[in-house]
Structure 1
Amino acid sequence: MGDYKKYFKKYIKTNYRSEFDRIIADTDSNYKIISTDTSFAKTSRNPIDKRLDFSSYFLALIKTLDSNGETFDDIRKICLQITTEYVQPKSKIQEYFKLLLPKLTNTWVGQGLIKAFHNRVKVNSNADGFIANIITNKQETYGLGYGIDIIECGICKLFQKHNYSKYASILCEVDEITSGLAGLQLIRTGTIANGAKKCDFRFKRN
């Protein structure tokens, strides 16, 4: 996931300059507790679980700001500032590969990668992790041959465990941004964070 904390520090300083040191200290303290619930992700065979360490720090900041009396809208604002910059490609090479991956879906290389990915995400040895199904039917995926149904969301489980479920949907908003960076338009009918039974990811080429 890279050094994601620098993005948190940047926008905490931008929005809370006078309280920066205290907010960082409180966030780090909260993260130390919360991250024990996601430590399994570092060695998980399910690649989607890799998002959970970032999500732990994300939740740690939310908990800090909520305890500080910040409103949902203010918390959402800074969280989207952080995540929007974090997901941007950091080089021309990263930008190239983000755009390349959707183009590979209907090649033998792409099909092999999709099959391997599906085998890893369809099960999870840890009850706190993700479970997903990969959809390859072209009629169900706007001709792309690739879609995802998240059946169990590790982020929602984490936020629910710490009684912060109402904030989990903020991370869902970033999916539209990451799709756009890959040259795709995200089509989605619902998310687990907003009460649906699954998160369905379908894409159209831009």
Structure 2
Amino acid sequence: MTQESIDRRTFLGWIGRFSICALGVSLLPSCRGNALNGQNDTGSQNFYLANKTKIMKEIDDMCGYTRKVSSTMYGKEMADTLVLGTTQKFEDLLPDLPYIGGYTNNLTTNLYMGAAGLALYKTMLEQGKTLEETGEVLYRATEMQYGANPLGGMMTSMSVSDTTKTIISKEAERSQERMYTGDWVFNFIDGNGADFDYGIDYTECGICKFYQSQGAAELIPYMCMLDFPISKAANSGLVRTTTLGRGGPRCDFRYKIGRPVQMDWVPGFLKKG
């Protein structure tokens, strides 16, 4: 299989799903600067409902990994309860998601997968589980999903290609227009090849904004840490020292192929492991 033979939406969905990972930010050129000019956050609010069938298929795929992890942790009956509750609560959240450009903005996928994480969290709380337990289920499910994917090596080469860097740089410039209030805003940082290949500084985060609007800011750090199992799978060497989700001025993603990841925050369940 060659890089060119892979359907780009399939690949992009894989690298962007269930994460705010910078690798998934914008490998696909955006049309937000022209075709969508003039639309606001509520003008295309029905985007999510219009694409509900496709979106729910992605949520079902994600829940497959959630089910496997929670079955090991809590047993099959509880796993079934968590998956059912997550699906139902996600459907309730879907109409409330802010419009940020639809599929012309690859971060739309990150936003609704973040909503799925919130739906799981709400369900976990109802079942007497804790915030950290939710974080562990999310982490283990992401680790399982990305670790098992055969495209990891190809993801490594694409993540640092000149084409990728150029597109991310252009998307960073577009983000400064702040066309949608619920969107991400970020800067591209060119690397020197020694300390890091390239970086991205996020100064606004769509998932942070949505979680805060939903009264669930405490979940943000656990969503932020999902970037690391994805980086491990891609061998992209993510190092991060600060995040918006933990009160920092930005999220400073720095990538260098082949080096170990370095987490800015390590939750209790990983320290125990």
* TM range, smaller chain: 0.7 to 0.9
Change (3 A) 1:24 1:112: closer
Q: 1: distance between equivalents of 2:164 and 2:132?
A: 40
Change (3 A) 1:198 1:66: same
- Aligned pairs for 1:58-137 within 5 A: 58-88=117-147, 90-91=149-150, 94-105=151-162, 109-136=163-190
The question of 1:148 aligning with 2:200 is answered yes
The question of 1:160 aligning with 2:212 is answered yes
For structure 2, the 5+ residue unaligned runs are: 1-12, 14-57, 259-273
Q: 2: distance between equivalents of 1:61 and 1:135?
A: 34
- Aligned pairs for 1:41-56 within 5 A: 43=102, 45-56=104-115
Aligned length: 199
In the other structure, the counterpart of 1:26 is 85
User: Which whole-Å deviations, capped at 9, do the CAs of 1:3-22 have from their partners, x for residues lacking one?
Assistant: 32322233233334223343
Q: 1: distance between equivalents of 2:226 and 2:118?
A: 15
CA contact (8 A) 1:46 1:124 kept: no
CA contact (8 A) 1:134 1:148 kept: yes
CA contact (8 A) 1:148 1:201 kept: yes
Q: 1: distance between equivalents of 2:65 and 2:94?
A: 18
TM-score by length of 2: 0.64
User: Does the residue aligned with 2:68 lie in a helix, a strand or coil?
Assistant: helix
In the other structure, the counterpart of 1:199 is 251
In the other structure, the counterpart of 2:51 is none
In the other structure, the counterpart of 2:67 is 9
Aligned partner letter, 2:195: Y
Q: CA RMSD in A?
A: 2.5
User: Does the residue aligned with 1:197 lie in a helix, a strand or coil?
Assistant: coil
- Give the Å deviation of 1:41: 5.0
The question of 1:38 aligning with 2:97 is answered yes
In the other structure, the counterpart of 1:185 is 237
- Give the Å deviation of 1:120: 4.3
Change (3 A) 1:19 1:205: closer
Q: 2: distance between equivalents of 1:42 and 1:31?
A: 20
Q: 1: distance between equivalents of 2:187 and 2:109?
A: 17
Higher mean displacement: 196-205 or 115-124: 115-124
Decide which structure has greater helix share: 1
